[in-house]
């Protein structure tokens, strides 16, 4: 590599809505000489900010060698590359293998985080994924399929925690998902939401329980690009009543604010972070 080599940016392209790009992601896409975007999950609108004359490639029909060849040849010519992934690149982004090659080749790279479909879906569902007293943990996972799960990470094992589960890459195995979950920490009445193509114009939201969700998904003919979120976090009843977080409680003292009760007696206190 010469001193004039370019740089690769691995960019979180968000779930599909271009307005969910970070300002940094947009700037990198606008200034890159070469833009390679995961066009199976990222719509062209997300990369339409590419400058005139930039080379723009969809990657869905390319293999890793072909993608890396595009990246490395551009960098060797001193160009900047934006490799735009869906959502946040750190979640099922297949970026490890790219980073290994970039490291081996001595290429400078930087990761720009993005809005994961998980968080865009929570927003569309108007859900807090951490529900006081019910779910203080979020597990992001997938159903075992062609990719084997490591020991202890089968859906059944994870379901035993009964917390909020965000399941990627599994919509075609809905019946199996339901079977695994109901055999462990959830019941047929557990709330579930499926969000299809969040942030796209044809986004769909399906709500139900583990008893009826598979039928509803089948009826809606959803077979790809959907997230399954399970647990109290997606129970619409949470909007009506339930425990509240300490953070903004008038009685709770923390680093930044003295609770009303502190004047008269002892009480729980925290660091003001939640």
Question: In the range 27-46, which residues lie near ligand SAM by CB under 6 A?
Answer: 41
CB count in 10 Å sphere of residue 95: 17
Cβ burial 116-127 (10 Å sphere, 16+ → b, else e): bbbbbbbebbeb
Asked whether position 117 contacts ligand SAM by CB under 6 A, the answer is yes
- Closest approach of ligand SAM to the CB of residue 240, in Å: 27
Asked whether position 116 contacts ligand SAM by CB under 6 A, the answer is yes
- What DSSP letter does each residue of the chain carry, written as one string? --TT--EEEEEE-BSS-GGGS-HHHHHHHHH-SEEEE-TTTS-GGGGTTPPTT-EEEE-TT--HHHHHHHHHHHHHTT-EEEEEESB-TTSS---HHHHHHHHHTT--EEEE----HHHHHHHHTT--SSBTTTB--EEEEE--SSSPPPTT-SHHHHHTT-SEEEEES-GGGHHHHHHHHHTTT--TT-EEEEEESTTSTT-EEEEEETTTHHHHHHHTT--SSEEEEESGGG-GGGGTS----STT-TT-EETTB--GGGGTS---EE-S--
| Residue closest to ligand SAM (Cβ) | 87
Asked whether position 83 contacts ligand SAM by CB under 6 A, the answer is no
Asked whether position 190 contacts ligand SAM by CB under 6 A, the answer is no
Q: Which stretch binds ligand SAM (CB under 6 A): 84-92, 104-112, 124-132, 242-250?
A: 84-92
- Cβ-contact 16, 198 below 8 angstroms: yes
> Is the Cβ of residue 27 or residue 204 nearer to ligand SAM in the bound state?
204
Binding residue (CB under 6 A) for ligand SAM from 10, 198, 213, 234? 198
Q: How many residues bind ligand SAM (CB under 6 A)?
A: 21
- Closest approach of ligand SAM to the CB of residue 224, in Å: 7
Q: Which stretch binds ligand SAM (CB under 6 A): 22-30, 61-69, 80-88, 246-254?
A: 80-88
- Closest approach of ligand SAM to the CB of residue 243, in Å: 29
Asked whether position 127 contacts ligand SAM by CB under 6 A, the answer is no
- Closest approach of ligand SAM to the CB of residue 87, in Å: 2
Asked whether position 168 contacts ligand SAM by CB under 6 A, the answer is yes
- Closest approach of ligand SAM to the CB of residue 78, in Å: 29
Contact letters for ligand SAM, residues 225-244 (x by CB under 6 A): xxx-----------------
Which residues make up the interface to ligand SAM (CB under 6 A)?
Answer: 15-16, 41, 86-88, 91-93, 116-117, 168-169, 195, 197-200, 225-227
């Amino acid at each position: 590599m010469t001193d004039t080599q370019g740089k690769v940016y691995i960019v979180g392209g968000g779930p599909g809505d271009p307005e969910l790009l970070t300002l940094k992601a947009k700037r990198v896409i606008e200034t890159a000489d070469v833009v390679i975007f995961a066009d199976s999950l990222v719509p062209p609108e997300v990369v339409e900010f590419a400058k005139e004359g930039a080379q723009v490639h969809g990657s869905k029909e390319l293999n890793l060698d072909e993608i890396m060849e595009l990246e490395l040849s551009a960098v060797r010519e001193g160009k900047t590359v934006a490799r735009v992934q869906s959502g946040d690149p750190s979640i099922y982004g297949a970026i490890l293998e790219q980073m290994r090659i970039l490291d081996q080749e001595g290429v400078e790279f930087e990761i720009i985080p993005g809005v994961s479909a998980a968080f865009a879906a929570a927003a569309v569902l108007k859900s807090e994924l951490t529900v006081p007293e019910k779910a203080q943990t979020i597990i992001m996972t997938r159903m075992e399929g062609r990719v084997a799960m490591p020991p202890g990470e089968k859906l059944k094992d994870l379901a035993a925690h009964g917390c909020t589960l965000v399941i990627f890459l599994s919509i075609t195995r809905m019946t199996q998902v339901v079977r695994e979950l109901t055999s462990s920490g959830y019941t047929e009445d557990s709330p579930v939401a499926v969000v299809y193509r969040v942030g796209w114009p044809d986004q769909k939201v399906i709500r139900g329980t583990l008893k009826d969700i598979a039928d509803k998904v089948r009826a809606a003919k959803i077979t790809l690009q959907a997230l399954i979120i399970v647990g109290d976090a997606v129970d619409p009843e949470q909007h009506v009543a339930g425990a509240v977080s300490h953070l903004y409680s008038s009685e709770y003292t923390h680093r930044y604010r003295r609770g009303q009760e502190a004047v008269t007696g002892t009480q729980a206190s925290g660091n003001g972070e939640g």
